[in-house]
């Protein structure tokens, strides 16, 4: 069960977001309220185009809300910050940099001395299973390996919060399962506060401490589920399948 005394890393309070355009205003987020607690793995789950990426962009400070406020570690978000790491569906790696250069880029920009940032980058390269690939260029790596680089890059900044926006959406089913297991393993050994976006119920249940089911656009919190199945989870266990059925049926009500 969630211990409400834990420190809130994210506080979304009455958040709304409207995109203004000549063709008409588009209300995408409407009175969104939720907290995410320290070291919690929260999955934002909802139908396609409901506004999940928009919420992550608001939390990471890439977009300002039009109403309400978002606090991260008690401070109002008013722009992007290296304290909030992002992992995207497309890896956005620098193709002309090696794996090591990609992973150490964040600390380098923050002026972390070379020895320290190399050690830090190596720790996370090892953690994601890319030991031996430090000097390869991303183009030589598979999609799953490129996502590992993206994850190592996010962790190497040692952010207080990592946002992952459908990071395995482009991967084939088998690689996706493998990467879900990898994220499970990484977050078991390196606890972080993670907000992970998906529209895949299985992925949500496999990874989440808590699932926030979102309404269709304009989005807000429809329902929350604390997932207390033992880890690593078994996709085929009766409890897993029952929860999947329950959440999928509930999602149909949000459409």
Ligand X SMILES: Nc1ncnc2c1ncn2[C@@H]1O[C@H](COP(=O)(O)OP(=O)(O)OP(=O)(O)O)[C@@H](O)[C@H]1O
Query: Which chain residues interact with ligand X by CB under 6 A?
Result: 19, 26, 28, 48-54, 166, 199, 217
**Whole-angstrom Cα distance, residue 220 to residue 16?**
9
What's the closest the beta carbon of residue 57 comes to ligand X, in angstroms? 7
Distances 205 to 88, 111, 181 between C-alpha atoms, Å: 20, 39, 12
What's the closest the beta carbon of residue 91 comes to ligand X, in angstroms? 16
What's the closest the beta carbon of residue 230 comes to ligand X, in angstroms? 29
Residues 254/213, Cβ–Cβ less than 8 Å: yes
**Whole-angstrom Cα distance, residue 224 to residue 85?**
24
Q: Which is nearer to ligand X, 65 or 107 (CB)?
A: 65
User: What is the DSSP code (8-state) at residue 215?
Assistant: P
Q: Which is nearer to ligand X, 19 or 96 (CB)?
A: 19
What's the closest the beta carbon of residue 37 comes to ligand X, in angstroms? 23
Distances 255 to 47, 99, 214 between C-alpha atoms, Å: 8, 41, 10
**Whole-angstrom Cα distance, residue 202 to residue 134?**
32
Q: Which is nearer to ligand X, 224 or 234 (CB)?
A: 224
Q: Which is nearer to ligand X, 152 or 217 (CB)?
A: 217
What's the closest the beta carbon of residue 108 comes to ligand X, in angstroms? 30
Q: Which is nearer to ligand X, 84 or 117 (CB)?
A: 84
């Amino acid at each position: 069960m969630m211990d409400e005394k834990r420190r809130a890393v994210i506080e979304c309070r009455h958040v709304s977001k409207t995109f203004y355009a000549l063709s008409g205003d588009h209300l995408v987020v409407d009175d969104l309220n939720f907290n995410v607690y320290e070291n919690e793995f929260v999955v934002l789950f909802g139908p396609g185009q409901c506004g999940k990426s928009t919420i992550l962009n608001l939390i990471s400070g890439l977009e300002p809300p039009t109403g309400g406020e978002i606090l991260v570690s008690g401070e109002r978000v008013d722009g992007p910050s290296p304290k909030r790491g992002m992992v995207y569906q497309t890896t956005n790696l620098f193709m002309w940099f090696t794996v090591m250069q990609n992973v150490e880029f964040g600390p380098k920009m923050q002026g972390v001395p070379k020895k320290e940032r190399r050690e830090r980058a190596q720790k996370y390269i090892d953690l994601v299973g890319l030991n031996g690939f430090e000097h390869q260029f991303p183009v030589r790596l598979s999609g799953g390996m490129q996502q590992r680089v993206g994850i190592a890059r996010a962790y190497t900044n040692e952010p207080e919060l990592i946002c992952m926006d459908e990071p395995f959406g482009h991967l084939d089913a088998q690689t996706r399962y493998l990467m879900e297991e990898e994220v499970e393993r990484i977050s078991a050994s390196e606890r972080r506060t993670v907000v992970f976006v998906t529209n895949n119920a299985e992925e949500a249940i496999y990874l989440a401490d808590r699932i926030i089911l979102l309404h269709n656009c304009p989005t807000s919190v429809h329902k929350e589920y604390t997932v207390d199945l033992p880890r690593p989870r078994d996709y085929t266990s009766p409890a897993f399948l029952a929860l999947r059925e329950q959440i999928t049926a509930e999602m149909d009500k949000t459409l």
